[in-house]
């Protein structure tokens, strides 16, 4: 007896954090990354509003947390 799996056609799917679409365009992936990085930015509002934290530290946090999600779709 042989089992043959049925495959389903989809318009897009997520592979290693990136959205891959059938037409090969990147708009969905870019929109997804922007949305995820915005969520990280919003979660860090207490840091941004803290007047005791120096601007240099805030820039380092932005670079390591927000930029990494935006550019590489990885979360720290």
**So where are the chain's domains?**
12-72
Q: What is the pLDDT along the chain (76 residues), one digit of tens a residue?
A: 778 888 888 888 888 878 898 898 889 999 999 999 999 999 999 999 999 999 999 999 999 999 998 888 776 5
Tokens of 69: 């999600």
Confidence (pTM): 0.75
Cα 61 to Cα 17, 38, 48, 76, distances in angstroms: 22, 14, 10, 11
Helix (H) or strand (E) holding 12: strand 12-15
**How many angstroms separate the CA atoms of 60 and 39, rounded?**
18
């Amino acid at each position: 007896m042989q089992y043959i799996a049925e495959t389903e056609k989809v318009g897009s799917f997520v592979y290693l954090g990136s959205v891959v679409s059938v037409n090969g365009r990147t708009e969905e992936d870019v929109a997804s990354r922007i949305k995820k990085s915005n969520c990280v930015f919003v979660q860090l509002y207490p840091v941004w509003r803290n007047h005791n934290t120096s601007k240099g530290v805030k820039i380092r946090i932005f670079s390591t947390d927000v930029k990494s999600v935006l550019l590489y779709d990885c979360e720290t």
